[in-house]
Amino acid sequence: MGATMKRWQLPSFGLRNLEQVEVPVPTPGGHDLLIRVSAVSLNYRDRLVVDGDLLPERPAMPFTPVSDMGGEVVATGDGVSRAKGGDRVLGNFWTGWIDGAPPREMTRHGLSLGGPLPGMLAEYVILHEDAAVAAPRSLADREASTLPVAGLTAWFALVETGHLAPGDTVLVEGTGGVALFGLQIARAFGARVIVTSRSAGKLDRARALGATDVIDTTKTPQWSGTALELTHGSGVDHVLELIGGDNLGQSAAALASGGRISQIGFLKGTDIRLPAVPLMLKRAVIQGITVGHRRAFEDLIRAVDRFGITPVIDKVYGFDQAPAAFAHLDRGPFGKIVIDVRG
Amino acid sequence: MGATMKRWQLPSFGLRNLEQVEVPVPTPGGHDLLIRVSAVSLNYRDRLVVDGDLLPERPAMPFTPVSDMGGEVVATGDGVSRAKGGDRVLGNFWTGWIDGAPPREMTRHGLSLGGPLPGMLAEYVILHEDAAVAAPRSLADREASTLPVAGLTAWFALVETGHLAPGDTVLVEGTGGVALFGLQIARAFGARVIVTSRSAGKLDRARALGATDVIDTTKTPQWSGTALELTHGSGVDHVLELIGGDNLGQSAAALASGGRISQIGFLKGTDIRLPAVPLMLKRAVIQGITVGHRRAFEDLIRAVDRFGITPVIDKVYGFDQAPAAFAHLDRGPFGKIVIDVRG
Amino acid sequence: MGATMKRWQLPSFGLRNLEQVEVPVPTPGGHDLLIRVSAVSLNYRDRLVVDGDLLPERPAMPFTPVSDMGGEVVATGDGVSRAKGGDRVLGNFWTGWIDGAPPREMTRHGLSLGGPLPGMLAEYVILHEDAAVAAPRSLADREASTLPVAGLTAWFALVETGHLAPGDTVLVEGTGGVALFGLQIARAFGARVIVTSRSAGKLDRARALGATDVIDTTKTPQWSGTALELTHGSGVDHVLELIGGDNLGQSAAALASGGRISQIGFLKGTDIRLPAVPLMLKRAVIQGITVGHRRAFEDLIRAVDRFGITPVIDKVYGFDQAPAAFAHLDRGPFGKIVIDVRG
Amino acid sequence: MGATMKRWQLPSFGLRNLEQVEVPVPTPGGHDLLIRVSAVSLNYRDRLVVDGDLLPERPAMPFTPVSDMGGEVVATGDGVSRAKGGDRVLGNFWTGWIDGAPPREMTRHGLSLGGPLPGMLAEYVILHEDAAVAAPRSLADREASTLPVAGLTAWFALVETGHLAPGDTVLVEGTGGVALFGLQIARAFGARVIVTSRSAGKLDRARALGATDVIDTTKTPQWSGTALELTHGSGVDHVLELIGGDNLGQSAAALASGGRISQIGFLKGTDIRLPAVPLMLKRAVIQGITVGHRRAFEDLIRAVDRFGITPVIDKVYGFDQAPAAFAHLDRGPFGKIVIDVRG
């Protein structure tokens, strides 16, 4: 490697301020890894961070955005024991959350990558060894880079907290990154999957990916009745709630007894609203989800290798095209947007 | 016993239609128990049933209301093995829910007592032996009769599904039956308890029962800030949500990381509404609760005996005063209203 | 159906006493189903019951053995609501265990089929509706009849109590009924499977069924080292312990950190023996298993349909060949022995 | 503090080699805490380490033994955020095990204090901040120093993995440190406790501490029958197995349906041996336990404060009396042996 590298950064918030700079390649100390980034993937969260709409406190500026990364370890600090040069690694979003409950103090290295901690949109990054996990052998870095946020979110909702079982019915809303991971994980576990979308074309693509049934919400805005019909009146066991607002009323109505809504996104408004009685009679659970811990991430990676899950990438952009990649996010990709950092 | 007995019944819905009649004492067949009722306790649910506001389908009329009962077995069918004459028993609200998940078909004897199944407001009742559990030895029938719905609801929320642990902080809303059971169970488990109420007088009584802290919501309608202060910023681990509506916004704001809201009541409206972001960041759970299963009821009864929990009864009415007892429900009792059937 | 039927029964214990008799077809009362038996399958337990070596108290004689049954409902008692004529059903081994913990009193209809309760080796049997579950649609009765004991035992060990996850490694001992169900369930869940056997021929057949690896314990009696090698030193996550005795020493040595031994069989002696230190350092669990509850049985049946699991039958005997079928058990079948009751 | 401190160390294994030396007070780097040790407590494990009988690989010599410590932070490295000067802290035995499953690699700071990592028998020690937890406010350092190994072991067995519930019956074997913590924790949770011991005098003291029942195993070596009588035939829900060997046969016989044996000690031999059939019929669990994780330790500390649990100390020795304190271990103390490091 050279002495310098390229990095995107924000001197102040706003996508138009995103600038590419040439800076020295950092040196890893103590328990740090120096990682040559191969690919990053974008999440809607990154867009909010870039626009200054997410973080309650302003991070150190200039700030480099983007949470998701796949790359290769090229140098290590003296104290490193979890990884070595040449290892292919991914970053663990909540850097200090290893297993069980998150530690009460997430102050030292317990915050999240890509805001408030520095992000991954650079040719080289530094990660504490505890925040790195081995990449899946069965995936190239482009695909692997989509796992840390979207993949783990779907896995944490369905498997880690949801105890997904064969024969369960999963309903996923839309066809973004988390939704399609939900679809693929559920199918791998032998679950039925219902996908909702306003786009007939996207529903066709979801079906091609294995969706058991689809509901076009342009035609059927009150979609819970259809979900009940498709399950012969039993209802669905899991909902990946990516819409929020009063859409939870539909989710609660569609739910089976003992079912679970994983609250993940809120496209339709930051307040959720639903009737109490079906929630109570069904002994249903609404579970807030924001990504997950490292142990579950390692479980996901093992399952990806075992089941041969290939993440769905809508489009790959080159490193210099980062602003265009962000703009694509606004148009609602089918699956993930990736930036090939070496491209 | 004589050949006839007194019973309250509704020829049609509406409290003013409640009538006392003299009917033959029934004969227990097969797996049935004939029980001489000693005391019944009232729940807000009973009021809704009487008014025709709860059951989706009209039960057989005339209909006898009231879910909760404590009494003594006086005769048994030939096939009975779970109880014998002289046993003191309570009724299990969901008669067919024994443990684990409720059976998919709750059709045979799987429905709830006091609507749609016949209720307990009579001198004698018939119960399938599977729907009866042994009463706690440490309580008289008056007190024991309050356990099946209100006691088990609080227990199921906090212990069975909530895994209440010593040192947890529990917030209970109001001072009705479920709330005070929540307070007593939580204290017995070594948890801190915060009680909210609009009445300073009731808060004083809650404190006398062991509440660690109280919040007067007349003075502090936005009470979540106070709950956070009382927990040094950590938030509360469990909320017994008895108000509903947009009060869940306060509950979510007051919650600790990993906390749980048990949705039980909806005095403030049948729609619940809350912001999605704190729910997600705290990985919080909202769990719908409607009473619980027989195994948990037996656990509760064991704990009542072990810890010496004495249910709080606001007032005891005589059998002939049933309409007055129902009217008292509307005024918001402190704890439970009981009807002494032999009184 | 005619007025009489054929039934095998034991006037006293001992396989040579098994006699076929002609008796009236019974009439179902109350909550009973009359079932025309299509097939039964044999378990090693049946052999012990026939020989008088299992039941602590002598059942009513003459006694009809065999726990497992698949058949069709042909008549129902007045009170039946869980099934109707024409339904294909299986019997639930522990007739009174529905979900969660078994009820404390297993006295009424809570005992097990085929001893002490009457067994299934007859053209018609009576079952309480609570003890019947719907057969899987994807299997004929011969295959379905193998599920109640052997299938559910493997499922209860791996899935219900073991929380089998994709990528886990399962070790099954031998190639009997429970072992092969363990193999098939584990493969369906995306787990790796190691099979041990003293027979190279059976290991070949296990491999053909999907075993990831096999260990010939004739060549490698101390097989734990091989299991560790096959898992790159990590060890196996689940052991279906079907041998018992000091074989648990090998199982404990082969186990991964946090691993689980399901104690199911004891071919090698009724005492189990193993070193304490690896058990402790690995925080391992030994879990006693004897079949499981009805809810888990329904889960298994759903999974069988979903994954297309086809039970492995070594040989099918005709109804009149029951003694020969029992004799086959002693020779160690590969998978299950079935008696076609209509054959 | 001065520039030097006193420390006990082993130039080679064997209690007679334990020597006190004067060495420089160490300087904390990065995430390290410098702790002025106030008290240490001894565990039987320490004896095995000192004798060279426990660790599979020889640690760096001279080696300082003892796992348990309570003390005060007197200086911190630059990167420290979890603690500050003046904090009273305890050490977390498995330094790298925070919550959930232990990390696969326990290589960096994931090993245990007092072997293979350096121990606490010194005036000052260095701990990584992640391996320190806040001491309970309600206990002085002498008492608090007994919690990290013995207290957490009992808590992990009964509460974290055993889900101890009010009304459960717990059987503890003997009156050593773990046993008495088990007794006190169980009583605090509203459980019944049966204590076994060969010493009538110790049983009297156990009764004074709250034991519900006691069994003198000198008089009743086959104690399981007595345990069944004391539980009216139900059996005990939890056994803290501190004896091992064929004593597990008694434990299994004494167990309730669904009961749990926590395998902790092995005074009677390193092989455990028990009959398979009761284990299976009771669906019992044997769980290997070696201390526990930091999150559970923090839960224990919270419960100690909440319930007012005061650890039982048999005798306190001065720092210079360390060899005598170790010798006392061999004589079977009632509760814990403590060394007052400042004494």
* Interface with chain A: mutation pick from B251, B287, B291, highest number of A CBs within 10 Å: B287
Rounded CA separation A135/A138 (Å): 9
List, in order, residues 6 or more apart from A13 with CB less than 8 Å away: A50, A51, A52
Q: Which of A80, A95, A72 is nearest to A144 (CA)?
A: A72
Rounded CA separation C222/C250 (Å): 7
- Residue C224 C-alpha, separation from nearest chain B C-alpha, in angstroms: 37
What is the secondary structure of B82-150 as a DSSP string?
S--TT-EEEE-SBTT--SSSPPS---SS-SBBTTTB--S-BSEEEEEGGGEEEPPTTS-HHHHTTIIII
CB pairs under 8 A between A and C: 40
Neighbouring chains of A at 3+ CB pairs under 8 Å are B, C, D
**DSSP annotation of D129:** G
Secondary element (H or E) of residue C238: strand C236-241
Rounded CA separation D211/D204 (Å): 9
**Residue C228 CB burial class (10 angstroms; 0-12, 13-18, ≥19):** middle
What structural domains and CATH numbers belong to chain D? Answer: 4-149+292-340 (3.90.180.10), 162-288 (3.40.50.720)
Question: What is the pTM (predicted TM-score) of this model?
Answer: 0.88
Rounded CA separation B144/B120 (Å): 14
pLDDT band (50, 70, 90) for residue C110: low
- What is the distance between the terminal CA atoms of chain D, rounded to a whole angstrom? 16
Question: Please, how many CA atoms are within 13 Å of residue D341, restricted to the half-sphere of its CB?
Answer: 28
Per-residue pLDDT of chain D (343 residues; tens, 9 = 90+): 679 999 999 999 999 999 999 999 999 988 999 999 999 999 999 999 999 988 888 888 999 999 999 999 999 999 898 899 999 999 999 998 999 988 765 544 458 999 999 999 999 999 999 999 999 999 999 999 999 999 999 999 999 999 998 889 999 999 999 999 999 999 998 899 999 999 999 999 999 999 999 999 999 999 999 999 999 999 999 999 999 999 999 999 999 999 999 999 988 888 999 999 999 989 999 999 999 999 999 999 999 998 899 999 999 999 999 999 999 998 999 999 999 999 7
CB contact under 8 A, B266 and A277: yes
Rounded CA separation B207/C35 (Å): 61
List, in order, residues 6 or more apart from A156 with CB less than 8 Å away: A289, A291, A292, A293, A296
Structure tokens at C327: 């004799």
Beta bridge partners of D214: D195
Residue B1 pLDDT: 64
In this structure, the dihedral spanned by the alpha carbons of residues D230, D231, D237 and D238, taken in order and rounded to 10 degrees, is -10
Asked if D303 reaches chain B (Cβ–Cβ under 8 Å), the answer is yes
Structure tokens at A252: 């609660």
Which of A30, A100, A295 has its CB closest to that of D30?
A30
Rounded CA separation D9/D7 (Å): 6
What is the secondary structure of A272-306 as a DSSP string?
EEEEHHHHHHTT-EEEE-----HHHHHHHHHHHHH
Structure tokens at B153: 């609801």
Q: Which of C130, C152, C129 is nearest to C41 (CA)?
A: C152
Rounded CA separation B114/B109 (Å): 13
**DSSP annotation of D265:** -
Asked if A107 reaches chain B (Cβ–Cβ under 8 Å), the answer is no
- Residue C192 C-alpha, separation from nearest chain A C-alpha, in angstroms: 9
Asked if A163 reaches chain C (Cβ–Cβ under 8 Å), the answer is yes
CB pairs under 8 A between B and D: 40
Number of H helices, E strands in chain C: 10, 16
Rounded CA separation D68/D119 (Å): 8
Is the Cβ–Cβ distance between C314 and C292 less than 8 Å? no
Residue B317 pLDDT: 98
Asked if B268 reaches chain A (Cβ–Cβ under 8 Å), the answer is no
Rounded CA separation B167/B179 (Å): 19
Place of tokens 């005391």: B39
- Residue A196 C-alpha, separation from nearest chain C C-alpha, in angstroms: 22
Asked if A137 reaches chain C (Cβ–Cβ under 8 Å), the answer is no
Residue A52 falls in which region: left (phi positive, over 0), alpha (psi -120 to 50) or beta: left
Asked if A107 reaches chain D (Cβ–Cβ under 8 Å), the answer is yes
Res B39 pLDDT > 60: yes
Is the Cβ–Cβ distance between A59 and A113 less than 8 Å? no
Tell me the CA distances in angstroms from D322 to B72, D17, D60, D340, one per residue in order.
65, 12, 21, 9
Structure tokens at C53: 């070596």
Tell me the helix, strand and coil percentages in chain A, rounded to 5: 30, 30, 40
Radius of gyration (C-alpha) of chain D in whole angstroms: 20
The alpha helices in chain C, defined as continuous H runs, are 44-50, 141-144, 152-155, 177-188, 200-208, 224-230, 247-254, 276-281, 294-307, 322-329
Chain C residues lying within 8 Å of A188, measured CB to CB:
166, 190
pLDDT tens digit string along A244-301?
999 999 999 999 999 999 999 988 888 999 999 999 989 999 999 999 999 999 999 9
Residue B257 falls in which region: left (phi positive, over 0), alpha (psi -120 to 50) or beta: beta
pLDDT band (50, 70, 90) for residue B104: low
- Which amino acid would we find at residue D270? T
CB contact under 8 A, C101 and B99: yes
Asked if B210 reaches chain D (Cβ–Cβ under 8 Å), the answer is no
pLDDT tens digit string along A77-103?
998 988 999 999 999 999 989 999 887
Query: What are the 10-residue block averages of pLDDT along chain A, 343 residues in total?
Result: 92 96 95 97 95 87 97 94 94 93 60 94 96 96 98 98 91 98 94 97 98 97 97 95 96 96 91 94 95 95 92 98 95 96 89
Is the Cβ–Cβ distance between C288 and C244 less than 8 Å? no
The 3-state secondary structure of B295-306 reads HHHHHHHHHHHH
Question: Residue B129: closest CA among chain C residues belongs to which residue?
Answer: C108
* Interface with chain A: mutation pick from D92, D129, D295, D302, highest number of A CBs within 10 Å: D295
- Residue D302 C-alpha, separation from nearest chain B C-alpha, in angstroms: 6
ipTM of the complex: 0.94
